Amino acid sequence: MKQMVVPSILSADFSRLAEEIDLVVSKGAERLHLDIMDGHFVPNLTFGPMIVNAVDRLTDVHLEAHLMMENPSKFIPQFIEAGVDTLMIQQETCPHLHKDLHLIKEHGGRAGVVVNPATPVSLIREVLPDVDHILIMTVNPGFGGQSFIETMIPKIQETREMIGSREIDLQVDGGIDLGTIGKARNAGANLFVVGSSIFGEPDPGKAYQDLTSKLGVPV
Tell whether pTM > 0.85: yes
Question: At 214, which amino acid appears?
Answer: K
Report CA dihedral (57, 59, 62, 66) to the nearest 10 degrees. Answer: -60
203 given a catalytic annotation: no
Catalytic residue among 56, 132, 173, 177: 173
pLDDT of residue 43: 87
Under the banding of pLDDT at 50, 70 and 90, the label for residue 71 is: very high
Handedness of CA 185, 189, 195, 199 (dihedral sign): positive
Query: Per the CATH hierarchy, to which homologous superfamily does domain 4-214 belong?
Result: Aldolase class I (3.20.20.70)
Residue 164: pLDDT over 70: yes
pLDDT at 83 over 80: yes
pLDDT of residue 219: 63
Average confidence (pLDDT) over 124-135: 98
Domain residue ranges of the chain, discontinuous segments joined by +: 4-214
Tell me if residue 13 is catalytic. no
Q: How far apart are CA 133 and CA 167, in angstroms?
A: 9
26 SS3 class: coil
pLDDT of 142 above 80: no
Catalytic annotation, pick one of 35, 169, 177, 210: 35
> Which residues contact residue 165 at a Cβ distance below 8 angstroms, ignoring those fewer than 6 apart?
none
